[in-house]
Amino acid sequence: MSATAKPQDAIALLKKDHDEVKAMFEEYDGLGDRAFASKKKLADKICLELTKHAIAEEEIFYPAVRGAFDESEDLVDEATVEHASAKDLIAQISSMDPHDDLYDAKVKVLGEYIDHHVQEEEEEMFPKAKKADLDMVELGQKIQARKDEIDMIPPEPMLSTKAAAGTQPRL
């Protein structure tokens, strides 16, 4: 973020991530059946962006939201379980070759998981979090700082099977 850019609140920042990943999934859907190199490159980018987003949500946004409003415990727990399912698919996709029979199916299912997750966050969690007594600008700054920190990590270790599955030390 440049020195003159206005800091985004946490919800705006997370929604921006959602929109960017949705656009990447749509781009993936438009690739031809034989566009293996393009599919691999785009799927890796999707997996990387989702991993960074999940880390920032799990380390910063979810702990802040937990307990901030009625139903927050349940919503955060459900979102955490959804992240675990997505991380499992991310690990599988990251270790696959785009020629593999199930590659496209796994990317498609990941997109469906993410659509469901985004819908729940944007329709249930975010509106309630916005009304809670939380400093969304401060949370947004913390999320952006964490994502900037994550950007310094080479993508290969981040997308390894163990890291994506959440079984390696903190990134």
pLDDT band at 156 (very low <50, low <70, confident <90, very high): low
**pLDDT tens-digit map of 18-31:** 999 999 999 999 99
- Give the separation between CA 111 and CA 120, rounded to whole angstroms: 14
Domain span at residue 20 reads: 10-164
Residues 157 and 51: beta-carbon distance below 8 Å: no
pTM: 0.87
Q: What is the pLDDT of residue 70?
A: 87
- On whether residue 2 sits in a domain, the answer given is no
**pLDDT tens-digit map of 41-98:** 999 999 999 999 999 999 999 999 998 988 899 999 999 999 999 999 999 999 999 9
Residues 47 and 93: beta-carbon distance below 8 Å: yes
Of the candidates 79, 77, 82, 96, the one whose C-alpha atom is nearest the C-alpha of residue 159 is 96
- On whether residue 3 sits in a domain, the answer given is no
- Give the separation between CA 110 and CA 117, rounded to whole angstroms: 10
Q: What is the pLDDT of residue 2?
A: 45
- On whether residue 68 sits in a domain, the answer given is yes
- On whether residue 32 sits in a domain, the answer given is yes
- On whether residue 126 sits in a domain, the answer given is yes
- Give the separation between CA 24 and CA 19, rounded to whole angstroms: 9
- Give the separation between CA 145 and CA 153, rounded to whole angstroms: 13
Q: What is the pLDDT of residue 169?
A: 37
pLDDT band at 157 (very low <50, low <70, confident <90, very high): low
Average pLDDT, the chain: 90
- On whether residue 106 sits in a domain, the answer given is yes
Whether 1 has a pLDDT exceeding 90, the answer reads no
Q: What is the pLDDT of residue 106?
A: 98
- On whether residue 155 sits in a domain, the answer given is yes
- On whether residue 169 sits in a domain, the answer given is no
Q: What are residue 133's phi and psi, to 5 degrees?
A: -85, 70
Q: How many domains does the chain have?
A: 1
